[in-house]
C-alpha cells in the first residue's frame, strides 16, 4: 500500500467507522453465527498475491461484522462497560502511525512522560491520595493493559515486600497467604496461581448480604494464619465487584492490613471512574490505606481498550519485583534515577504509546463529557431499579449504587426461580434487541444489567425493561 | 467530538501519519530532550473545557514528536526491528473503531475465529510443524501481546505439566529448575521470577564461541540436577538472541528435553519471521521438538505492535495452567468444547481484535512484500558485514546469519577496545543521523547494527557505515 493509497483507504475507513458507530444501534446485538461459521467463510490459505483494500473491507462487512457482538451498541447491557470515544480512537490511530516503543524512557521520552502526566492528571480528576502521584517520594502510576495485569503486578509487589526480596532468588512462596471474597474478580485467582500462590493459600473471606467483605472475618483469618506460622501477605479489596457491584469496606480493611503488614490492593476496575463526579467520590473510601489501586478508563471513560490505570504508594516493591536490566537496555538517564522506565512497572517488556488515547479523550471531549456520561448511566440504572422494585415478578438482589442492576425472577422455590431467571437471560439475548449477562450470587441465578455504553439513552433502557417484562410473562 | 468532526479530524490524522512516515527519514533520529522536558512543556493540570483537535495536534507536532525516538526511521538500527505497514495501521484503526472484546468466543466470535485462522495461515507461511495448527489434536496458536508474555505462558504450561497440575493448588515450585544461556532474553528471568522460580533455580548453560547453547553442557546440568533430587522442567532455546542473533541448536536440545521430560520453548521473537523466505527456513531447525514457539510479526513483518504469535503442541498444559471459569464468563459453546476461549491462552482476561492488523497486512501488502523485505534486510546486513570485515579498524564479533551485525573497534587491549567501542556508540547516536544499541558479549563492548526498518535502503546502510568509519578515526 502506497502512502497515497493509505490516504484514500484511511479516509474511507474513518468514514466506515463513523457510519458503523452511528448505525450500530440498528444491528442485532447478538450474533447468530455457529462455532466455525466465520472461519468457514474465509479462505483456508493465505492469498498468493495482494488484494485490494476494497475486497478486504467487503469481507469485513459481509463476514466479520455479522460475526461480532457489538460492544458499542446502545442496548449492550452485558459483561461490563467497554465504551470508546471518537478522540480515543484517533489516539489509537496516532499511536499505530508513530509506531514507537515506550519500554524505557530513552526509547521514546515523550511516550513515558506523557503517560506519567496522564496518571497524575487522573489522580487529580479522581481525587486520589497524593502519595499515588509521580511527584510523591514513594509512589507513582502506570498504564497496564488490563486489571488482570494490575492485580498480578500488585501480587508480585506484595510477594517481594513480604519476603524482603528473597523470593526473587529462592522462589519460596510456601508460607504466603492471600485474602479476598468469592466476589473478587477471577483474575485474582489467576494472578495468585501465576505467582506460585496455590489455591490452598487463597482464603475466601466471607461476605455480608450486600456481597461485601466482612472485615471482622478477615481479621480473624489473618490472625489464625499468623498463629499457624503462615505469612498473610496480600488482600484484594474490590470497589465494585464484577458480579454485583459490591464494595468491600476498605476503610475497615485498611487498618487490619496495616497492623498485619499485609499489602492492600484495591481493584476498582469497573467502578473507580465514577469518582470523576464529586458525588460519587465515596467509591474512593479507604484508598488512603491502599498500597496499590487500579481503575479502567477502557471500561467507563470512553478510552479504547487497553487502558488500565495502576497506582502504587510503594514503587520500590514494584521495582524490586519486576526490574531486570540487561546490557542492551541500559541508559545513563535511567541509571541516574532521573527517569522512569515503565518496562519495570509491568509484565511485558514492550509497550506502545497508550497514553495518547487518554490524552486525546480528556482534551478533545473534555472531562465534563465523561462525568456527564457516568451520571447519566447511574441515573438510568436507578430509574430501572425503581421499575424493577415496583414489579412483583422481579427481585432486586443486590445493592446497585452505580450502573449495575442485578435482578432475578421470583418463584415459590429457589430452583424454579433460578430456572426462570436463566430462561429469561437466554430468551432476552436470543431476541437480538439487548444483551445481558447471567451470574450467580450465593446460589441464586441473576440477570445483570450493566448500563455503560456511550450512546445508551433512557429509551434504550426502557426498551430493555419492556423486553424483560414481556418475556417474564411468557417464561 | 461528533461523528462529522471525527470524519474531518480522522482524515486529517490519516494524512498526518502518511506525511510523518514519508518524511521521518528527514528528522534527527535521536531526540535531544532532557529528562522532564516534555512534561514541563505540557499543562500540569487537565483542561477544564474541551479543546480543539487542531490544538492537540499542534502539541503533537511541537512537543510530542520532538520527544520521540523515531523507530520507523530508515536509519534506525537500534534495539530490534519494529516495523509497521500501512495496512496494519488501518487494521489497528478498525480494531479501535469496532471496540469489541475477544476474551471468549461468545463475546465476539469473529474476533476469535479470524485469529485462529491467522495463526494457521502463519503456520503455513513459516512452514511450522503441523502439530502447532489449530486443526491438530493437541496444538494451536494465539496472539500474545509480547514475547515476554509468550515466555511466561510457556513457563506456566511447563510448570503445570511438571507438577501434574498440583502447582495450581499447592504453589510448590521448590524443586523445579529451568535452563537457558546467558544470551536468552531478559524476559526469561523475569518470567521465571514471576512464576516463583527464583534465580537460584535458573541454570545458565554455557555457550560456545558463536554464543549458542552447548547442548552437551545442558545434558550434564540436567543430569546433575536430577541426581540431586531436583526437577528439570523448562529449557528456553533461542532462535536469534537479542544481543547477537545467535541460534541455539534446537535439533540437539530437543532430544535431550524429550528424554528428560522437560518442556522445550523456542523463542524466535526477532528472527522467526525470516522463515517467510524458503532459503531462511533453517531458522526452524529442530522445531519439531518444541512444546511451544513464538515469533513476532510486530518486529519484522510490518505488523503493528502488539502481535506476538505463540504456538504450542500441548494445549492441555496451557489450559491447565491458565483456565479459570467464573459464572459470568460461562457459555454453552465453550462448555461443549466447540470453540476456543482465548482468555485461557494468555495472562490478561481482556483482549482486543489484534488479528485484524495481521490479516490486513497479509491481504493488502501480500506475503511477497514481507518476504522481499526480509531478503533485502538480510542482504544489506551481509554487505555491511563484508565492509566491516574488510576494515581493519573493526572486528565482526559474532555470526551474522540474518539482519543483525555486531562489531567492535579494535585496540591493543580489551579495556581500550571497549572504551573505544562505547565511545563510538555514544558519538554515532549523538549525531542524530543513525541509531545503534550497545551490548556486551562475553565482556566485550559491542555496537549492534540491527537492519529492519521497512524503508531502510542500501544508501541508509552505506551512510551509517560512513558515519561509523568517520567517527572511528576520531575516537
Asked whether the beta carbons of residue A1 and residue B365 sit closer than 8 angstroms, the reply is: yes
Which pLDDT band holds residue A338 (cuts at 50, 70, 90)?
confident
pLDDT over 80 (residue A126): yes
How many CB pairs (< 8 A) connect A and B? Answer: 474
Range of lowest pLDDT (A20-34, A36-50, A340-354): A20-34
pLDDT of residue B329: 64
Phi, psi (5° rounding) for residue A333? -60, -40
Chain A residues whose beta carbon lies within 8 Å of the beta carbon of residue B66:
110
pLDDT of residue A112: 97
pLDDT of residue A328: 63
Report pLDDT digits (tens) over A440-467: 999 999 999 999 999 999 999 999 999 9
Rounded mean pLDDT of B329-338?
68
Nearest residue in B to A148, CA atom: B348
Asked whether the beta carbons of residue A328 and residue B242 sit closer than 8 angstroms, the reply is: yes
- Pairwise CA distance, residues A169 & A157, whole Å: 15
pLDDT of residue B30: 77
Distances (CA, A) of B227 to B220, B230, B304: 10, 7, 46
- Mutation to test the B interface, candidates A171, A188, A366, A430, most B Cβ within 10 Å: A171
What percentage of chain B reaches a pLDDT higher than 90? Answer: 95
What percentage of chain A reaches a pLDDT higher than 90? Answer: 95
Report pLDDT digits (tens) over B101-119: 999 999 999 999 999 999 9
Q: Are strands A394-396 and A404-409 parallel, antiparallel or unpaired?
A: antiparallel
Query: Measured on CA atoms in the order B387, B389, B391, B396, is the torsion positive or negative?
Result: positive
CB-nearest to B148 from A110, A125, A348 is A348
Asked whether the beta carbons of residue A440 and residue B327 sit closer than 8 angstroms, the reply is: yes
Rounded mean pLDDT of B453-462?
97
H/E segment holding residue A116: helix A109-126
pLDDT of residue A32: 83
Asked whether the beta carbons of residue B98 and residue A33 sit closer than 8 angstroms, the reply is: no
Asked whether the beta carbons of residue B55 and residue A125 sit closer than 8 angstroms, the reply is: no
Question: Mean pLDDT score of chain B, rounded to an integer?
Answer: 96
Chain B residues whose beta carbon lies within 8 Å of the beta carbon of residue A359:
56
Nearest residue in A to B66, CA atom: A110
pLDDT over 70 (residue A423): yes
CB-nearest to A305 from B6, B339, B352 is B352
pLDDT over 80 (residue A411): yes
pLDDT of residue A29: 87
Report pLDDT digits (tens) over A229-287: 999 999 999 999 999 999 999 999 999 999 999 999 999 999 999 999 999 999 999 99
Q: What is the pTM of this model?
A: 0.97
Three-state secondary-structure class, residue B441:
strand
pLDDT of residue B29: 87
Question: Would you give the DSSP letter of residue A363?
Answer: I
CB-nearest to B13 from A16, A93, A149 is A93
Chain A residues whose beta carbon lies within 8 Å of the beta carbon of residue B51:
363-364, 366
Report pLDDT digits (tens) over A198-212: 999 999 999 999 999
Q: Which residues contact B375 (CB under 8 A, 6 or more apart)?
A: B277
pLDDT of residue B336: 66
Distance to chain A for B327, nearest Cα, Å? 5
Distance to chain B for A293, nearest Cα, Å? 17
CB-nearest to B108 from A10, A69, A145 is A69
pLDDT over 90 (residue A100): yes
Which pLDDT band holds residue B451 (cuts at 50, 70, 90)?
very high
Other Cβ atoms closer than 10 A to A243: 23
Report pLDDT digits (tens) over B52-104: 999 999 999 999 999 999 999 999 999 999 999 999 999 999 999 999 999 99
pLDDT over 80 (residue A161): yes
pLDDT over 80 (residue A329): no
Write down the ipTM of this complex: 0.97
Amino acid at each position: 500500500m502506497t502512502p497515497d493509497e493509505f490516504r484514500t483507504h484511511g479516509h474511507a475507513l474513518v468514514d466506515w467507522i463513523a457510519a458503523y458507530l452511528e448505525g450500530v444501534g440498528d444491528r442485532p446485538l447478538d450474533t447468530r453465527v455457529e462455532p466455525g461459521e466465520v472461519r468457514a467463510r474465509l479462505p483456508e490459505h493465505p492469498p498468493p498475491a495482494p488484494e485490494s483494500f476494497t475486497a478486504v473491507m467487503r469481507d469485513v462487512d459481509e463476514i466479520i461484522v455479522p460475526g461480532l457482538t457489538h460492544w458499542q451498541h446502545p442496548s449492550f447491557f452485558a459483561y461490563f462497560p467497554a465504551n470508546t470515544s471518537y478522540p480515543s480512537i484517533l489516539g489509537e490511530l496516532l499511536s499505530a502511525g508513530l509506531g514507537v516503543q515506550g519500554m524505557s524512557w530513552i526509547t521514546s521520552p515523550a511516550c513515558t512522560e506523557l503517560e506519567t502526566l496522564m496518571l497524575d492528571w487522573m489522580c487529580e480528576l479522581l481525587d486520589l491520595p497524593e502519595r499515588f502521584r509521580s511527584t510523591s517520594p514513594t509512589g507513582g502510576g502506570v498504564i497496564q493493559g488490563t486489571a488482570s495485569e494490575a492485580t498480578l503486578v500488585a501480587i508480585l509487589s506484595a510477594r517481594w515486600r513480604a519476603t524482603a526480596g528473597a523470593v526473587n532468588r529462592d522462589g519460596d512462596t510456601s508460607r504466603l497467604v492471600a485474602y479476598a471474597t468469592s466476589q473478587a474478580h477471577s483474575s485474582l485467582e489467576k494472578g495468585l496461581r501465576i505467582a506460585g500462590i496455590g489455591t490452598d493459600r487463597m482464603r475466601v473471606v466471607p461476605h455480608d448480604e450486600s456481597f461485601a467483605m466482612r472485615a471482622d472475618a478477615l481479621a480473624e483469618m489473618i490472625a489464625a494464619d499468623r498463629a499457624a506460622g503462615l505469612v498473610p501477605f496480600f488482600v484484594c479489596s474490590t470497589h465494585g465487584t464484577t458480579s454485583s457491584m459490591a464494595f468491600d469496606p476498605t476503610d475497615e480493611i485498611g487498618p487490619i492490613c496495616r497492623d498485619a503488614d499485609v499489602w492492600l490492593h484495591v481493584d476498582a476496575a469497573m467502578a473507580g471512574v465514577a469518582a470523576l463526579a464529586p458525588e460519587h467520590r465515596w467509591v474512593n473510601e479507604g484508598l488512603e490505606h491502599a498500597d496499590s489501586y487500579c481503575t479502567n478508563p477502557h471500561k467507563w471513560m470512553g478510552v479504547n481498550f487497553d487502558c488500565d490505570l495502576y497506582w502504587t504508594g510503594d514503587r520500590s516493591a514494584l521495582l524490586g519485583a519486576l526490574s531486570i536490566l540487561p546490557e542492551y537496555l541500559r541508559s545513563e538517564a535511567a541509571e541516574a534515577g532521573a527517569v522512569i522506565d515503565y518496562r519495570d512497572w509491568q509484565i511485558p517488556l514492550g509497550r506502545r504509546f497508550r497514553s495518547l488515547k487518554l490524552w486525546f479523550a480528556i482534551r478533545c471531549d473534555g472531562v465534563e463529557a465523561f462525568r456527564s456520561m457516568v451520571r447519566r448511566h447511574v441515573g438510568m440504572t436507578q430509574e430501572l431499579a425503581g421499575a424493577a422494585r415496583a414489579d412483583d415478578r422481579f427481585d432486586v438482589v443486590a445493592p446497585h449504587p452505580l450502573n449495575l442492576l442485578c435482578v432475578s425472577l421470583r418463584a415459590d422455590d429457589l430452583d424454579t426461580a433460578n430456572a426462570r431467571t436463566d430462561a429469561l437471560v437466554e430468551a432476552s439475548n436470543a431476541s437480538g434487541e439487548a444483551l445481558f449477562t447471567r451470574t450467580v450470587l450465593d446460589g441464586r441465578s441473576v440477570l445483570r444489567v450493566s448500563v455503560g455504553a456511550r450512546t445508551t439513552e433512557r429509551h434504550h433502557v426502557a426498551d430493555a425493561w419492556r423486553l424483560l417484562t414481556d418475556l417474564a410473562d411468557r417464561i
